[in-house]
Amino acid sequence: MNKILAIIVTYNPSMDKLKVLVSELISQNTDVVIVDNKSENSVELESLMPTYISLLDQNYGIAYAQNIGIKQAFNCNYEYVVFFDQDSSIPRDMIYKMFELYQKISKNYKIGCLGPAYIDIKTGITAPAIQLSFLKTKKIFLNKNKEFTKSDYIISSGTLVTTENIKEIGVMDEKLFIDFVDIEWGMRAKKKGYTCFIANEIVMKHCIGEHSIKIPILNKYFNVHSLFRRYFILRNGIYLILYSDLPINWKILQMIRTFQYFLIFSIFITPRISNIKIFYIATKDAIFKKMYKGSI
């Protein structure tokens, strides 16, 4: 197998979960770099014995930390990187299977990245692929009888990409700090002629948000994040609508999603006053381009 570097970004991680992840990656002949955003337990990370470790002097956000890992991959001539969150749980032989499928798909497609299917551990629901069709967001549910599904963007945890393609598409947008980083990169890749794929038969468990609630009117689950994350979700979405060069149809759809997000949190999610305040701060910061960590 060609050289692969796993990039794990950490912030106050569970050491038990992280130890399992690092051990599993190493057992699959994958080198590991841990990039830590000033965790309280950062001194414990070296005991996991990753291939490389970078302890940052403050929390610079996931995009910045991922770029530190990408630079490590460039400097050490790795051919591939695979991104992971600190609480990722991967199946046995995942890296081997991802690599084999990547080689197979690349014979016919220009791959942006390849990621696993993932199940939200809170709801047990497998996330669909996302494909934009003019002013409609198509959710493509994964067919286990097919090896892969095209998706305009995918969650970053578990995604495999070549360093050569990162050089062509560009690194992660550090201004975004945390949310929309994978979406912006995926849409940027698509604009440059690349396609992202989901490996239907390779499944990871993942937790999106702190908990989920079912919205009665919409009859679907809605992921609830902390107030800290709500700020970045709102700010970054609005910022990308106003100032990015992403496709106009994505911007229109994101405007609708942002309005729906605000209504849901204003009506169904407590504390409502705090949600309205966060929306105001996020909107103001987006308009005046107060990015990175912003007002939080």
Query: For 32-91, how does the pLDDT look when each residue is reduced to its tens digit (9 = 90+)?
Result: 999 999 999 998 999 999 999 999 999 999 999 999 999 999 999 999 999 999 988 898
Both 71 and 185 in one domain: the answer is yes
- The span from the CA of 258 to the CA of 269, in Å, is 15
Compute the average pLDDT of residues 99-122.
Answer: 94
> Tell me, what CATH number does 115's domain have?
3.90.550.10
Is 92 contained in some domain? yes
Report the number of distinct structural domains present in the chain. 2
Both 166 and 139 in one domain: the answer is yes
Which residue has better confidence, 112 or 1? Answer: 112
Is 31 contained in some domain? yes
Residue 222's pLDDT is 64
Angle CA 174–177–180, to nearest 5 = 95
User: What's the whole-model pTM score?
Assistant: 0.92
The strand pairing partners of 148, in sequence order, are: 199
- The span from the CA of 249 to the CA of 268, in Å, is 28
Look at residues 156, 185, 206 and tell me which one is the last residue of a structural domain: 206
Look at residues 166, 187, 206 and tell me which one is the last residue of a structural domain: 206
Both 171 and 277 in one domain: the answer is no
Is 296 contained in some domain? no
Residue span of the structural domain in which 274 resides: 213-287
Dihedral class, residue 295 (left if φ above 0, else alpha if ψ from -120 to 50, else beta): alpha
Residue 218's pLDDT is 64
Residue 206's pLDDT is 76
| Sheet order of strands, 160-162 included | 52-55, 31-36, 4-10, 80-85, 160-162, 111-120, 195-206, 148-151
